[in-house]
A and B are shown apart, each in its own frame.
Chain A
Amino acid sequence: MPRNELTMTEGSESAAAAGFDRSLLLTPGRDLAGYLGRGIGWVLLTTVACASVMAVMLIFVFIFKEAWPFLTGGRVMEFFGSTAWYPARDDEFGALSLFAGSAYATAGATLIAGLLGVSAAVFLSDIVPFRIRQILKPVVEILAAIPSVAYGFFALLVVAPWMQDTLGFTTGTNILNVTVMLSIMAVPTVVSIAEDALTAVGRNLREGAYAMGCTRAETLVKVVIPAAHSGIIAAVILGMMRAIGETMLVWMASGNAAQVPSPWWDLSQSVRTVTATIAGEMGETERGGVHYHALFALGLLLLTITFGLNLVSEYFLRRTRRRQGTGG
């Protein structure tokens, strides 16, 4: 008995120190607080999650609402059929020259960034030693963190004068300038995603190919790249979206002349893109006027295109994920 008492006191002392003697039953107050806390937390997080979805929906609704008066105003034929963009005084809204500008810049940037980015991704995933890859990939990804206005300054202060002095172009802010700068901006996106896709192909396929007697080049071209093609396509599309939506750089580097280049292959002419038009003209326009609604129609078109591209890239990314799932 005394022995028992002794151990009890010792035990209770150490238990008190560790907090074990606390009642396991919660007081009603604590019970309620915990219950409410959980409920409030759930409601709060759900609201935040819904708010972001709602925000996206509301943006769609808002832009559509503001573009509607223009779309129903009987000017749609002119919008898609004419190249004369004189919104300020003459009220001519031929957006074809703007579409041409965006198309030139985006197509050129996608082409260059696609070729450059995919080759870089192949190099990083299959050719360079792993340790160097661990250094190089973050460096490439840092390129994505440089603000676009910094690229714009570079295009304006370095690339444009260089093009005039060395290549002999009459104007340095032109299709070539904007294309090259945009592709540099889009490369990190392409490299990052394409490299992930290539790495995900896995050792077994590669070693299988080597076992069949393929050289390294054959393995890459005939096995690894075809196996990762979904991911590579998704990477290029995401790079393209970066180029379409870019505004600040394009505004500074493209020259903003609302014209369709003629002849069409002359890349030394300046163009005006849809994004730069919205950015440059929204400030001055009269709220509720035709011009205002026309700019929203441009925005709606842009939103539709990027949304469509996003769906396509999502489809391809999902396909890679599924394939990895069945393969692994």
Chain B
Amino acid sequence: MMRKLQMVAMALLVTAAAGVATAESEGEQRQQIQIEGSNTVGPIMRGFAEAFMEANPNVNVTVKATGSGDGAAALVDGRCDVAAMSRFMRMSEFLKALENDVMPVAHTIAMDGICVVLHPSNPVGELTMDQIKGIYTGDITNWRQLGGVDMQIVPLSRDTNSGTYGVFSNIALDDDRMSSGVEYVASNQQMHQRVSSTQGAIGFVGVGFLDREVKAVRLDGVLPNRRTIATAEYPLVRALYVWTNGYPKLGSMLHRFVAFYLTEAGQDIVEEKGFVPLTNY
């Protein structure tokens, strides 16, 4: 009995000592990169973090996706190294940062495009932003008013808690209220499904969801594709940013992480998450 206890105690001591030793040796080189911010950019950041940690085992990247505002606040307070934001920093946030001796620098890592789509059988091929606004605010209710056939318009929107809804409502509607007849769906997949099966439908999806089953319309004469979204010729786009305190030292781990979107692996991740990369390998 005593021998057994002794052995257990020995084993515990040994493992504890080993634990302390490894913790000490790792503490010297193991680097932390903390990311905080936007829900929209979150998936890209998580993808980057995974790939980056695989390539650099001595770096530990943590991602916290709560909201763009939280990211800005965390960068100002020095609680994170990288703030991910789906909007540009506001003047008030910038001034607060300067007061705290933080100089926010933006890095655009990807573009987010929202494609307005119709049922493939719909003869309407081009809409203006004013017409989009008219449809979603309820002023335009029939495709005949837009040069199409006599058919009621079924406007579809994403749920109000999605980032896509936020951008659409902000750019296309100037934050005006949508009409009460607008139907809401919960995801890009659902939107695609509803539009592809409803003749009078109009909806909007991420660029990753364009295929032959839905028809993307020209907005103000521009068809959405990778090029027009990357260059923002297409009107329904926004840039996705990460922010650092000053420009990171070239070649440092932080610099390499922030520039990860320039690598081929980074481009693949951006595309995989349904956004438009700025590079073209």
Assembly CA distance A281 to B161 (angstroms): 6
B199 in complex: contacting residue of A89, A97, A164, A259, CB < 8 Å:
A164
Q: A280 — which chain B residues lie within 8 A by C-beta?
A: 159-161, 184, 186
Q: B177 — which chain A residues lie within 8 A by C-beta?
A: 86, 89-90
Assembly CA distance A82 to B175 (angstroms): 22
Assembly CA distance A258 to B184 (angstroms): 9
A283 contacts chain B at the CB level, 8 A cutoff: yes
Q: Is the CB of A164 within 8 A of B183?
A: no
A173 contacts chain B at the CB level, 8 A cutoff: yes
Given contacts A156-B194, A164-B199, contact A171 B183 (CB under 8 A): yes
A84 contacts chain B at the CB level, 8 A cutoff: yes
Given contacts A280-B159, A284-B161, contact A164 B198 (CB under 8 A): yes
B180 contacts chain A at the CB level, 8 A cutoff: yes
B185 in complex: contacting residue of A164, A256, A272, A283, CB < 8 Å:
A256
A7 contacts chain B at the CB level, 8 A cutoff: no
- Residues facing B in A251-307 (CB within 8 A) are 251-252, 255-259, 270, 272, 280-285
Q: Is the CB of A257 within 8 A of B160?
A: no
Q: Is the CB of B197 within 8 A of A256?
A: no
A172 contacts chain B at the CB level, 8 A cutoff: yes
Q: Is the CB of B194 within 8 A of A284?
A: no
Number of A-B contacts (CB under 8 A): 70
A170 contacts chain B at the CB level, 8 A cutoff: yes
B197 in complex: contacting residue of A164, A270, A281, A282, CB < 8 Å:
A164
Assembly CA distance A89 to B29 (angstroms): 48
Query: How would you classify the secondary structure of chain A's contact residues: helix, strand, loop or mixed?
Result: loop
A160 contacts chain B at the CB level, 8 A cutoff: yes
Q: Is the CB of A281 within 8 A of B160?
A: yes
What 0/1 readout, one digit per residue, does chain A (164-175) give for beta carbons within 8 Å of chain B?
100000111100
B200 contacts chain A at the CB level, 8 A cutoff: yes
Interface size of B in residues (CB-CB distance below 8 Å): 24
Name A87's closest neighbour in chain B (CB-CB): B160
Q: Is the CB of A270 within 8 A of B183?
A: yes
Q: B194 — which chain A residues lie within 8 A by C-beta?
A: 156, 160, 173
B181 contacts chain A at the CB level, 8 A cutoff: yes
Q: A285 — which chain B residues lie within 8 A by C-beta?
A: 161
A59 contacts chain B at the CB level, 8 A cutoff: no
A183 contacts chain B at the CB level, 8 A cutoff: no
Assembly CA distance A129 to B177 (angstroms): 60
B263 contacts chain A at the CB level, 8 A cutoff: no
Please give the distance in Å from A187's CB to the nearest CB on chain B.
26
B229 contacts chain A at the CB level, 8 A cutoff: no
Please give the distance in Å from B130's CB to the nearest CB on chain A.
20
Q: Is the CB of A251 within 8 A of B181?
A: no
Q: Is the CB of A157 within 8 A of B193?
A: yes
Please give the distance in Å from B19's CB to the nearest CB on chain A.
35
A257 in complex: contacting residue of B152, B175, B182, B186, CB < 8 Å:
B182
Assembly CA distance A169 to B266 (angstroms): 45
Further pairs besides A252-B190, A257-B181, A281-B161: 16, Cβ < 8 Å = A89-B175, A97-B180, A156-B193, A160-B197, A161-B197, A164-B197, A170-B198, A171-B183, A171-B198, A252-B186, A255-B183, A256-B185, A257-B183, A280-B160, A280-B161, A284-B162
- The contact sample of 5 A-B pairs, CB cut-off 8 A, is A97-B180, A173-B194, A257-B183, A280-B159, A280-B186
Binding site for B on A (CB under 8 A): 83-90, 97, 156-157, 160-161, 164, 170-173, 251-252, 255-259, 270, 272, 280-285
